[in-house]
Structures are given as C-alpha cells and as structure tokens.
Structure 1
Amino acid sequence: MHLFSHDEINLLEAAQDGQLEFISNQLISLSSKQLQDACKKTDYYGRNALHYAAYRGHYEVVEYFLDLQCININSKDNKGNTALMLACVRGYNQDIASLKKGSKFDICSLLLERGASLQEFKKQGINNPLHWTCYFGDLKTTKLLMFVEPSLMLYSNDRDQFPIDLALMTGKELDDRGEDEKVLEFMILKFLAQYLDNDEHKKKLELSLDEHESYRYLQQSNFNIKSSNQLAQVGLRYLFWASTLGRLDLVEPLIRCKYSPFEPSYKGRNALHAAVYHNRKELVEYYLESESVKEFREGNVINRMTKVKPQTALHVAVERGHIDIVKTLIKKGADPNYYNFRNHRAFDQSRLTEIKHLKRELLNNSEKNYIRSGYNHVLVGWQRAKNQLLEQQFYNIQQKKNFEKGMFKYLPIESIDKQYTYYCLKVDEKLKNMIADETKMMIYNSREACLCPFNIQIQEQFENFHHIHDQQILQTLLYDEFDIDQFINDGLLIEQYPLHDEEEKELILKFWRNERFHILFEPFQLTRSQSRTFSALSSYFGAEIGMFFVFLCFFTTWLFLPAVPGLFIGIFHFINGDSINSVAPIYTLCMAVWATIFFEFWKRKQSETMYNFDMHVTKEQRRTIPQYKGAFIIEDVTHTIEIMDTRNVQWKYFKSNFPLVLIAIIFIGGEQFGYYYLKQINEGEQFYDSLWACVLAFSILITNEIFNFFAKHTLNYENHQYQDERENVYILKVFAFTFLNSFGRLFYRSLIRPDSEELDLLSISFTITWSLVHLIRYTLYPLISFAFIKIKFNWDFNKYKQNNSKQLAVAQRISVYDTETSAINKSVDKGLSTLYFLSQIELNSRMIDPPNHVEQFTYFMTQFCMATMFSAGSQIIPIAILFFNILNIEGLIYGYRKFVKRPLAEPKKSIGVWNDILQLVGYIGIVSNCLSIYQANQTQLNSLIGEDPNASNDQTDLGLRNFLFLIVAEHIVIGIKFVIEGVIPDEPEWVELILKREEFLSDKNKTKKGEQSKIIEIKTKKE
C-alpha cells in the first residue's frame, strides 16, 4: 500500500491539524521501511510531521511520532529549528489562550524527556528557546528550560537581546503584564542563585513537589561561563530589569557584585534611566544616596546620556512627568542644560504645567527679552501711516476665529531712520496649539516615541514646538488671511524674516565644535549618525540649509578616498613623470567607480537625513508665484476648475530660451577665441600659460554670472505657477551653461585635440582659481562687508539714542500694542527693553542675505565634475578641492552664525534635481575618463597594457588595441556601476524599520479613531 498516493504533504497537513486518528489509520499498515520513509518526508521549509505537530501544540501527535521512533527528535528544518525550538516559538494551535493552559510546557517537557538537545542553541547571534518562552511570558516553560540548561540566559540574539530583554516587550499577541513580570522576576532570581551563588535566592527557587515530579526524568547540564566579560554584560542587563521592576531586594545583591547602575546596558540605557522611566523613586534615591553605590558615583554619572536617542535621566523624568524624581535629580546635581536627541533641554521639552512651575521654582532665571518671550518674526513695512491695510489684516486674523485677548499680538516699532515700521509678531501658546491641531502638524510624541499628528486633547504627550514649527504656524496664520508674497510684490511690504536667537546660535556652534571631526569621518563608519549639529541647523535655519550642509560635509568626507592616493601619485609624478604611467589610468577609471559609490551612499545619507530632520512626514509646500498669469479652464479628467497658462508651451519656451542659447554660444566661443589669441602671444612660456589659464577661469566665472542674470529674467516670461517648478527650470539652465562653459576647453584638450600638458594645467588652474574666488566671495568678502555694516549700524544707533535721550526713559518702558483695543498694554512682558529690542531688529535687517543655494550647489557640482571627469589630467585635483571645502565649511558655518540674515524655514526632503545631475555626471564621467585616457594619455595607457620594444610599434595597431581595451574597461566600469546600484539599498535598514513602526502606529491610531467614531455614532443614534 502506498501512503497518500497523490501527495505525501497530506501527512504534514494532518500533523498541523492534530488529526491523530487519521495519521494512525494511514501509518498502521506500513512496513518498517515505508514508515521510516513516510515520517522523514519534509516540505519546502524542510519541516517534517514532528516539527508541525510541535509547532501547532498537538501533544498527542507529538507523543505518537516519538513513540514510533522513526523521526530524529533533533532533526532541523531549513532554518535550523528543531521540534523543541518550534514548540517554544509557537506551541499552540488556533487559540493563543491555550498557552495559559500549559500546552507548550507539556510538549517541551515531553521532548526534553525523550532526548531533545539544547546544546546547538548555546551560541550568540540567534534566538534560543528561552528567548521565546520569555517573549510569551510562559513561566512554567521558562522554569523548565532554566532547570535543564541555565546557561541559555547568557546568550543574545543578532539584535543584542538576551532572553530577559523580551519579557516586557510591548505589542505582543499575548500581552499579560502580570505574567511577564513573574517571568522577569524568576530570571533575575535564577541569575542571582545560579551565577552569583546567592544562598538567599537559592532558597526562593527550591522546587515544589509538582516541579520535582515534572523534572525527575530530566538531566541538568553543568554550569559553564565562557568569560567574565560575558557575565558582566549579562549582569548589567539583569540590574537594568531589576530596576524596571523597582525591586530593591533584587538590586542590592547585584550592586554588591560590583554591577554599576550608571553603566550603559539595554539599548544604551542604564539602571538609573530604567528606575527614572518607571517612576521608582526609592531606587533613584538608593542609586544617588546609598553608601553601597558610592564607589560608582564618581564623576558626572548623573548626567550620563543614553546611547540610542541620547538623553539624560532628567530628560526622562521630565518627559514622563515624574515631578518628585525631577526634584531629586536636580537636588543631586543633574544639569538641566544638557540637550537631548531632539535638541531640547530637559525643562524645555515638556508641556506639563507642573513642570513649567517647577522650572520657575528651581531655575529662577529673571533674564528676559522680547525674542525669548515670543516676538521672533518681523514684517517690514513703510511708515505706519501707509500700513492701514496691513494692520487691518492683523485685526482680521484676531477676529476671524474669535481668539482670546492677547493670543495674537503685533508690536509696531519705528525704524531709527523713521522710514520703515517693523511689525514684530507674537503667537500665544494656546493659539499655536489650535493651529497645530487644525492642520494636523506632525510633532514628536514622547509617549509613542514617534512623530504623530498633533492632538490638542493629549497635548502633554507632545514635545514643545521647535523654531521651524513656530514659523510654520505663523505662516499658516498669515497666509490664511493674506498673501505675503503678493503684498511684497505690490510694494505693501518690503520683506519678512525671523529674528536671530543668540542662545540657539551658540548651541549650533557648541555642537559643531564638539562634533566637527566626528562629522568628517562619520560616513566611513557606516553606522547611524549620532551628530546633532545638522538637526540643530535644520530646526533653526530650515531643512534646506541643513540638507545643504549635510551634502557639503558628506562630499568633503568622500573626497578623502581619491585625495590621499591622488596626492601620492602627484608627488611621484613631480619627482619622476614616467613613474606613474601605469598607475594613472587605473586611478582615472577608479574615479568613475568612486562617483557611483559616492552617489549610492549619498542616497542612503539623504534618506537618513530626511528622517533626522522629521521631513519624512512633511509635505513640501508649493508656493504660488504672485506674477503668474493664467485663465480659468475645466480640467479634462477631473472636470474641476483650475487656473492654467493657456499659451503654447513649446513656443513659449522656444522664445525665452533661444536668446539664451545665442548668448551661450557667443560667450563660450568668445572665451575660447580670446584664450587661443592670448596663448599665441607668448607661446611656450610657462608663466604666461599659467596666467592665461587663470584669466580664462576668471572669465568663465564672469560669463556664468552674466548668463545667470539673463536666465533669471527669462523665467518671468515663461510664467511659472509654482516656486519649486521655476527653481528647477532655473537650475537646469544655470548648470547646463556652467557645465559647457567650464569644461568646454577641457573636453577640447582631452577628446578633440588631445594635449595632456595643457589639460593638466587647465584643470588644476580652474580648480584653484574657482575655489579661491568662491572662498573670497562667500566667506571673506561678507565677513569684511558686515564688519563695516556693523560699524555703520553702531554709529547710526548711537546717534539715534543721542537724539532721543529725553525720551529714553519712556522708550525703555513696556509698550506692547494691543491689537484688540488699540491701546498700550503695560501689563504684558514687563521688564523687557524696547531699545535693546530695536537694536536687534535693526541689526537683523542689515544682515547679509543668505547665500544663493543654486549658486552654492552649482559650484560644488562643478567641483564634483572636475574630480570625476578630469582627474586624468591632474591627480591632485581631489586634494585641492578637499582643502578648500574644509575652509568653506568653517567659513559658511561662521557666516550663518554671525552675519547671515535668518531665512524662512521651508520643508525640504532632499536636494531635489541635483540628485539627477549627480547621477548624470557619473555616467558622463565613465565615458569621458575612458576617452580622455585614450586620446590624451596614450603613453600612460601603453605603459599599463605593455609595449613590445622589439616590435615596429605601429601607432595604428597600438591605437586600435588601446581603443578596444578601453571599450572593455568602460563596459566593466558601467557593469560595476549597475551592480553597486543594485547592491546598496537607498535606505539604511534602521530607517526602514523605524518607518515601518511609525506606519504601524499610524494605522493603529486610525483604526482606534475609527472605532471611537463608530461608538459615538451608535450612541448618537440611540439618543
């Protein structure tokens, strides 16, 4: 008789379903050989009938197969799981509540009695059976495994989780906190008794009569500790969880065994953090006051930060709202001025009223100013008599939603030259909460540990607003009433800008000084970024500027890879030009590969930065252009009314771009003709060759600026509707001309009429000249210019004070303009200096505008092109770019902190179209490098491939051979490029996991809200 004539898989299905009678009837008539073959049948996953019976918790089926003795009890599936392991992973059928009835324990006990082994699970990097029993909160099975093999508690999985770490994990299918804590307590007691030889806890773990009966057939293994280091790591983990339980009786023995409560343990947190988080005040006082812990309290241990998501114990206490513990920590020396991973100080992050009162009590800081009190945004108008329309808009904003008195304020201040009026705006915290709730602004929820839509009903769970949130709220409030861009375009307003906050700027400088060297080498570590400089830049200046600095630092770091070998090649070339002939072509081809790897890792860094800046949940706002002219039309698909430009788009672009093309041809052709003419005057003289190369570099910069001017003016004719659309068109025009204008001569000398010496001279001359000009233009010149601006400002302001000396006492009083009663409100913001505030507004208004990001990116993309495509000409180009980039980073950071006007913070998820340009340059670099080697560096190529000295050396044959070689090399490099693109994911694994978690929590909250809405609807219908 043949078993299951159609498919042996029926046996496995029957084992899964627990159909013992069916299995018995099918197997009873088989011969011994047929029985052995039938039981050994496995499926695609390598699992046999015993595996499935144990996995689904069918005790009788497991016992039946064990009695047959036809299946190896320790056989493994394709993932290395035995029947015992599968029973621990699941061990139940349909109803998870059956776990509480002991089905898993019975099966595991049976398997262990019959010889199931735990030895193969005694290794690091995998989940062992004890991990799963702790995860399910199965105390009986945990005791069983610990009786047989207690050393299982010493092994962690691939996520550095020990079995005990899974006991209190939230979000489990069977989430029973009481049972989980019992498992946790037992594990700690077992560790104390087994490994620390504590007699008191050994007595607590003595087996009951029932347990003696259950374990009498089981064999215990000998205790074995591989290293004291391993035991120390595990001990710290058990101290952490003992602190979580708040059990002083479990903590004290661990302290006596020299486990420090201040050493990092689970996820970089220590026992003090655990006690603070779970409001275990007794333990917190024990750690900070007890003589037993005195030896561990050396140094600044109370302010130690967690490794993951850095924050101090005081941050944790404030976040959780544990007032008594906050007082204790402050009393014992906790510093409230540390910044956490969200760039908040401890007391600044909480919205709780009790915490705010406590902050005033403990930190009696009487120093105040208008900016810190909320007046941090300025609209600049003409003389006040001409601003009735603007002030009417402010009045409308207050009346629109019946705001409470004082929730929206504006303070009009006359400029020192009497020509302008500064309208300083302030939004009260209540109004901020209302706007954030209405717009569902994504704010970090400290309880959920993720970004969530702001909910005013549970506002205490959300962190305080950052600068970027304040700006978004204010812009929403203003744009809902009137279009600021239109007002500026019509001349009703001059400009708007946020005021600088000196304390926040010093924070950025502090982060940069501490992290500058770490930031430059961080990309090579291939780990999650821990630096806070960029997050501080983003929250203060906006994501666009933060992303720019991330790109600049990342690009500079990656230049180290080609710069170091390029420097050595350049030195050897200077000593002996022929010594590098065989190395230079390889270096040039490697630069193309470098460009690809750089771009792939930049995409990962960009994804990480997008998350760090909270941009992954933010929509980029599309600002309309006031000058846009369109007509109402009915959209063909949706049949909605839209405003669109009805002119012929192709003709419109042709008319605007044709003059630009002519200008580009004239500029590029004129430069090349002029350079050729100058070169002929003193041909062959090294000094003049270098001079004319520098002159050509300067002329390229000048023509680039002229072209940019014309390109910007053509945008008005093209009539773009959105700012981002117009900016992308402008970027493409500017970069296309800059690329052709900058590298036209280099391509000519590398591909059309090859000349390796001139190519070398031009490439290095261009690089150094452009770098010097950029450094002077964006760092040195603004610095000197602002020094004179500040001198002029001090002169003007001192003169203003002298002219108004009689009214100085009045000017220093409080003068907050109440927009509801049109009167002076003297009870608000007492003690603030109007005169000092005016000086800050005036100085901010005179600051230098932020550098144009299109020009900045164009310059650095030009650098990238030079390094990628023309390193064949000069291998020292990367080191030169690296040197000037380091100077640029320092200069730009200093400039933004000292003299650059603070821009409006705009959400930005990436560097946009520049990513496409980077990828395009990578492809061009591969082709141009290969052609450049072939055309301009034949000698180096012959040296690399080899040249027969006895042959006739026919140049035609050598050229054909070299050409074929480079064709092969080009295809290999392109192949490597595609392989790299496929192998390196665009998002780091940890970002993917966090995004999945946030998506899960978002769906969970939506489901919860939907259920609540249904309940409300049902109640409403009943009523």
Structure 2
Amino acid sequence: MLCPAALAGLVAFFYGFVHFNCSKISQEICAANTTLMCPLCDQKCPYWPLSDTCTYAKITHLFDNEATVFFAIFMAVWATVFLELWKRQRARDVSDWNMYNWDEDEEELALEIIIDDDCNIKEHEHSYLRSTAVLLGVAATIAILIGIAQALVVYRVLATVFFMRSSWPFLSEHANTAAVMSGAVLHYLTIVIMTKVNRVIATYLCNLEKPRNFTERENSFTSKVFTFQFVTHFSSLFYVAFFLGRINGYPGNYIRIAGEWRLEECHPSGCITDLFIQMCIIMILKQTLSNCMEFLSPFLKYKYRTLKDKRSRVHSEKGSERHTTETWRQNYRLVDVHIFSLFDEFLEMVIQYSFTTIFVAAFPLAPLLALINNVLELRLDAIKMTRLQRRMVPRKANDIGIWLQVLEAVGVLAVITNGLVIAITSEFIPRLIYRYAYGPCAQGKEDIDCLTGYINQSLSTFHTQDFDKRTVVEESLYPNTTECRYRDYRNDDYSFSVQFWHIFAARLGFVIVFEHVAVCIKFIAAWFVPDVPQVVQNETLENKKAYLQELLVLIERSTEV
C-alpha cells in the first residue's frame, strides 16, 4: 500500500525538480543582490543580501509547489483506502479462522466455570477517584512533554546566537540551518529517552486504573503510550509548522526570552524549510538508528548467551542425550520475549504511519522513506523472530484492538494538519493572492509571468534608525544603510497591511474548503470500499443459516421427546 503513496510523493517532488531553475520566485531571489535583509541576530550581525538564500529557495521549491495541494488530498484518500483495505483483510482472516463470534469475556468465564462451578465473576468496576487521578497524571505528563518541546525552542534560540558568533565563517553564515539541524538531532535524542520514561509512566497509570482483563489493560496501555509518544514526536513539529516565525515580532520590536534573546525566525527561504529539515532528520535518524538498535540488541544478547553457555557446557554428555540437550540449549540461548514485544512493533508502525500522513505536505518523500524502511525491516524482523528470539505465545484476537481507532484518528488529524501546513506554513496562499489580486496579471498585463515582483511585494521595509538599543549591527560590509527588508506584510508604521488581511482571510477560507473537500472524499472512499467483502458476508449468512437449521432440529427433537 505504500507504493502508490511513495510514487505520488516522487511525482510531487519531481514536479518541483522539473521547475527547479525556471521558478520565477527562485530567479528573483537569486538576482536580489541589492536587496539587503535585516540582521539575523542582535549583536554584530551584518546585513545580508537576499541572494544568499538562492540555493535554499530552489530546494524549497522542490516540495513547496502547486503539486503539494493535490498530493495532500491524495494522501488523505490513500489513508482512508488503506484503512478500508485493512478492514477487508481483517474480515477475511477472521472468517477463515472462524473468529467472528468469539468473545474474550465469554471464553474467560467458560474456563473459570470449568475449573470451578462456584467461581466469582470479576465484575466491571469504575472509580471516579481513580479516573481523576489517571486524567491528572496524563495531563501532567503531556504538559511536561510540551515543556521539553519548548526547551528545544530555547536551545535553538541560544544555538543560533552561538553559531552566529562563531569564528568559522561557514558556520556563522549558516547559523540558522545549523541550529535547526542540531535541534532536530537533539529532538531525536529526547524521543529515545522519553520513550523509556513514557512506558514507565503509562504502566503506572494503567495499574492505577485496575483493568478487568488483559484486553482492557492492553487498550489502556496502548492509548496512553501512543498519546505520550505522539506528543513527544510531534509537539516540536507542531511548533515549527504553526508558530515559528509568527510570534517573534519584527525588527525593533522582537519578542524575547527573559527579555534578552529574541525568538527564532523562520529560515530565510521560508518557514516550510524548517519543517522539512526537522521531518527529514527525525525520520532518517529514527528509521536508521531504531532498526540498528532493534536488531543489534537481540543479536548481541544472543551471542552473549551463546558464549556464556559454551563456557559452562558439560562435555561429558553422549549419544542422544547430547543431541537433546543441545536442542534445549539452542532454545535457551534465544532471547526471551515479553508480553508487549508485539506491541513495540505495532507502536513503531503507527508512529511511522503518523509521519507518513501528518505533515506529509511539507515532506513528500516521507512515504518513500517509509517504504524503503519497511522493506529492510521486514527482513530484519524475520531474522530476529526466527533466529534470535524465542517464539511468541499466540493469543486469540479478532481485530487489532484500539490500534484501529488510533489509525482512524491519525487519518482525520492528517487532513487537518496538512490543510493548515499548506495554508499557513507554505507560500501557496500568498502566491495565489499575489497572482490574482496584486501581480501583473491582476493588472491586465500580458506576456509576463504572473509572479513577477512577488518577492519584493512579500518583503516589508524597516528603517534602521528604529532599531532598539540591544541591536548592534556590523556595518563593515554595508555602511550607511538606512533601510533593510524582512519577511512580513506591514506598512511603513509597522502595522499590518491590507494585503496581510487578504492573505489571512484566504488562508482561513482555504483551510475550511480543503478540510471539507478532503473529508468528503474520505467518506466517499470509505463508502466505495466496503469494510467486509461480499464473499465474507455471504459466508457469514450461510453459517448463520446452518446454525439456525441445526438449532431448529434440536428444538424439534426436544419437543418430540
């Protein structure tokens, strides 16, 4: 199922690649040698020409282009079709295993009654006090995880200042990019650490709830761990996508942390570049390092137990005993599996599904990376489960439990998030407004690109005399500069311009239209692809008919007697 999504992502990416050098916006940025931008930091940062971001502008066009909108809608449909096809496959498997009418409570009661006729039924219980404590625990954990994401924001602010003051010219010139990349690596490290912590907290809260049976415990544990992991993985990405560069103020009136360090701005080539870098680094690190650790951990444990067993082996065994004992030893050397070993695999896939659908508008190559990862992991998991680990104990189930609801929730959230990314994070709406309301085509001019002059229109002018006292500019390269430009839509008095409000209204309208269209398409796709195949439905009817006929025969026999 990832193949169509990966192919669509490649098409969207190559659409931008085809227009890599012919994009009018990129051409204007690369030619803007005389457009001086305001300093990127407060202390001894110089003015810099907009043309310095020429390469980044071209790269940004690879994933921030007109094809992104259609790709986002396609991914919404793909997510729906994926779940519907999964439900159909689940229906086939349940029918083949004759598990449609299986009920866990009924089976547990039957076993207890067989063991003891006078057994006490484990009744359902609910405590408002325990529920309140669990709710407060979940809220506190989420607040801590969001606080960690804000700590990453502070790190990027301080790292940008540090890199700006570096004596290494390359690092000082690319301070913003270096801060974003190092912040992404640090974000991945927090994910690794908090994964362990989240599991401990979820286990404690789950025990506090006192679930009635294994299924309730598993569902409770799953919902809590996924919630914590989702916040850990995506809280920083949500900040980068929807808040970065929008709450930092403007030159001369920056919002500052502790009144000293100003909040970070978007990458000079656009806010979506920061989101792209974050997504790319986290996905690559997570998939690469996680696969290595997931395979190396049981492999090293197996080798250690093998070496330890060889040292303690008794060499006096002979004949068939030696063969039997060796078989036992081989099984013993396999790494033990715990009750949630399969849970880890589910969690990994659902998090990957979230990365593949949420924010996919900013990173069209996410499905391709997921496909490559799954092909490799399929083989690694096969080796791990058949050669390195002990066999898992099978357990009856007629679905994947609460994971299906989690996947459906992620699909709905993906529609909302991608709509917001296109409307708020990308430059799609500002370009559209300029093309049809402010550009040369809107003024009736022909034989000219409709986006001509867009860059100049999207930059506001700041008078350098209005810098506050904390801003000290390095003017050796551009002395006597009276004006600099910055990305925003403001008037000369630094109030929002009319164009800003036009874009703001268009963004809100686009979000509403996009989400309604995408949700309608999702519903149509869900209706078009039935959850249960007709073959399974017909087999179920035949089974019901046979059961009723058999029951009728038994009733007739009992009445005859």
TM range (shorter): 0.5 to 0.7
Give the match for residue 704 of structure 1: 195
Superposition pairs of residues 530-545 of structure 1, within 5 angstroms? none
Q: For residue 853 of structure 1, give the secondary structure of its aligned residue in structure 2.
A: helix
What is the alpha-carbon distance in structure 1 between the residues aligned to residue 509 and residue 148 of structure 2?
37
Q: For residue 361 of structure 2, give the secondary structure of its aligned residue in structure 1.
A: coil
What is the alpha-carbon distance in structure 2 between the residues aligned to residue 691 and residue 622 of structure 1?
54
Contact 2:357 / 2:411 at 8 angstroms: preserved in 1?
yes
What is the alpha-carbon distance in structure 1 between the residues aligned to residue 559 and residue 347 of structure 2?
55
Q: Which moved more, 1:654-663 or 1:603-612?
A: 654-663
The 1:623/1:886 distance shift into structure 2, 3 A limit, reads farther
Give the match for residue 14 of structure 2: 568
Q: In the alignment, which of 950, 956, 959 is matched to residue 504 of structure 2?
A: 959
What is the alpha-carbon distance in structure 1 between the residues aligned to residue 356 and residue 75 of structure 2?
8
What is the alpha-carbon distance in structure 2 between the residues aligned to residue 926 and residue 984 of structure 1?
19
Whether 1:892 and 2:359 are equivalent positions in the alignment is: no
Give the match for residue 746 of structure 1: 237
Q: In the alignment, which of 990, 996, 1004 is matched to residue 549 of structure 2?
A: 1004
Give the match for residue 603 of structure 1: 87
What is the alpha-carbon distance in structure 2 between the residues aligned to residue 858 and residue 783 of structure 1?
21
What is the alpha-carbon distance in structure 1 between the residues aligned to residue 300 and residue 4 of structure 2?
31
Contact 1:623 / 1:723 at 8 angstroms: preserved in 2?
no
Contact 1:582 / 1:944 at 8 angstroms: preserved in 2?
no
Whether 1:969 and 2:460 are equivalent positions in the alignment is: no
What is the alpha-carbon distance in structure 2 between the residues aligned to residue 562 and residue 865 of structure 1?
17
Superposition pairs of residues 7-406 of structure 1, within 5 angstroms? none
What is the alpha-carbon distance in structure 2 between the residues aligned to residue 849 and residue 778 of structure 1?
14
CA deviations 1:433-468 (Å, max 9, x no partner) are xxxxxxxxxxxxxxxxxxxxxxxxxxxxxxxxxxxx
Superposition pairs of residues 718-729 of structure 1, within 5 angstroms? 718-729=209-220
Whether 1:763 and 2:274 are equivalent positions in the alignment is: no
Give the match for residue 902 of structure 1: 391
Give the match for residue 185 of structure 2: 694
Contact 2:302 / 2:388 at 8 angstroms: preserved in 1?
yes
CA deviations 1:906-928 (Å, max 9, x no partner) are 11111111111111111111111
What is the alpha-carbon distance in structure 2 between the residues aligned to residue 961 and residue 979 of structure 1?
27
What is the alpha-carbon distance in structure 2 between the residues aligned to residue 841 and residue 787 of structure 1?
16
CA deviations 1:164-191 (Å, max 9, x no partner) are xxxxxxxxxxxxxxxxxxxxxxxxxxxx
Q: In the alignment, which of 525, 536, 539 is matched to residue 980 of structure 1?
A: 525
CA deviations 1:237-290 (Å, max 9, x no partner) are xxxxxxxxxxxxxxxxxxxxxxxxxxxxxxxxxxxxxxxxxxxxxxxxxxxxxx
What is the alpha-carbon distance in structure 2 between the residues aligned to residue 570 and residue 887 of structure 1?
28
Contact 1:779 / 1:888 at 8 angstroms: preserved in 2?
no
Give the match for residue 875 of structure 1: 364
Who wins on radius of gyration, i.e. which is larger? Answer: 1
Give the match for residue 208 of structure 2: 717
The 1:560/1:936 distance shift into structure 2, 3 A limit, reads closer
What is the alpha-carbon distance in structure 2 between the residues aligned to residue 677 and residue 863 of structure 1?
26
What is the alpha-carbon distance in structure 2 between the residues aligned to residue 721 and residue 696 of structure 1?
37
What is the alpha-carbon distance in structure 2 between the residues aligned to residue 977 and residue 618 of structure 1?
31
What is the alpha-carbon distance in structure 2 between the residues aligned to residue 751 and residue 790 of structure 1?
52
Give the match for residue 655 of structure 1: 133
TM, length-normalised to structure 2: 0.67
Contact 1:711 / 1:730 at 8 angstroms: preserved in 2?
yes
Q: Identical aligned pairs, as a percentage? A: 21
Contact 2:95 / 2:536 at 8 angstroms: preserved in 1?
yes
Q: In the alignment, which of 746, 771, 785 is matched to residue 301 of structure 2?
A: 785
CA deviations 1:132-185 (Å, max 9, x no partner) are xxxxxxxxxxxxxxxxxxxxxxxxxxxxxxxxxxxxxxxxxxxxxxxxxxxxxx
Offset of residue 931 of structure 1: 1.1
Q: In the alignment, which of 927, 949, 957 is matched to residue 439 of structure 2?
A: 949
Contact 2:361 / 2:421 at 8 angstroms: preserved in 1?
yes
The one-letter amino acid paired with 1:789 is: R
Q: In the alignment, which of 405, 412, 423 is matched to residue 923 of structure 1?
A: 412
The one-letter amino acid paired with 1:932 is: V
The one-letter amino acid paired with 2:511 is: L
The 1:661/1:969 distance shift into structure 2, 3 A limit, reads closer
Contact 2:423 / 2:510 at 8 angstroms: preserved in 1?
no
- Which 5+ residue runs of structure 1 have no aligned equivalent? 1-554, 625-639, 813-832, 1018-1023
What is the alpha-carbon distance in structure 2 between the residues aligned to residue 944 and residue 763 of structure 1?
28
The 1:658/1:760 distance shift into structure 2, 3 A limit, reads same
What is the alpha-carbon distance in structure 1 between the residues aligned to residue 392 and residue 508 of structure 2?
53
The one-letter amino acid paired with 2:311 is: W
Q: For residue 778 of structure 1, give the secondary structure of its aligned residue in structure 2.
A: helix
What is the alpha-carbon distance in structure 1 between the residues aligned to residue 541 and residue 225 of structure 2?
39
Contact 2:84 / 2:529 at 8 angstroms: preserved in 1?
yes
What is the alpha-carbon distance in structure 2 between the residues aligned to residue 899 and residue 620 of structure 1?
31
Q: In the alignment, which of 570, 585, 591 is matched to residue 69 of structure 2?
A: 585
Superposition pairs of residues 413-562 of structure 1, within 5 angstroms? 556=2, 559-562=5-8
CA deviations 1:977-1021 (Å, max 9, x no partner) are 222222221111222222222333333333444455566x3xxxx
- Which 5+ residue runs of structure 2 have no aligned equivalent? 22-57, 109-118, 165-173, 246-270, 444-456, 458-498
Contact 1:588 / 1:871 at 8 angstroms: preserved in 2?
yes
Contact 2:5 / 2:367 at 8 angstroms: preserved in 1?
yes
The 1:858/1:763 distance shift into structure 2, 3 A limit, reads same
CA deviations 1:275-314 (Å, max 9, x no partner) are xxxxxxxxxxxxxxxxxxxxxxxxxxxxxxxxxxxxxxxx
Give the match for residue 843 of structure 1: 330
Q: For residue 364 of structure 2, give the secondary structure of its aligned residue in structure 1.
A: coil
Offset of residue 731 of structure 1: 0.7
Q: For residue 581 of structure 1, give the secondary structure of its aligned residue in structure 2.
A: coil
Whether 1:670 and 2:148 are equivalent positions in the alignment is: yes
Give the match for residue 290 of structure 2: 774
Contact 1:849 / 1:901 at 8 angstroms: preserved in 2?
yes
Give the match for residue 866 of structure 1: 355
Q: Which moved more, 1:949-958 or 1:596-605?
A: 949-958
Does 1 or 2 have the higher relative contact order (CA < 8 Å, sep 6+)? 2
Offset of residue 570 of structure 1: 6.7
Contact 2:122 / 2:212 at 8 angstroms: preserved in 1?
no
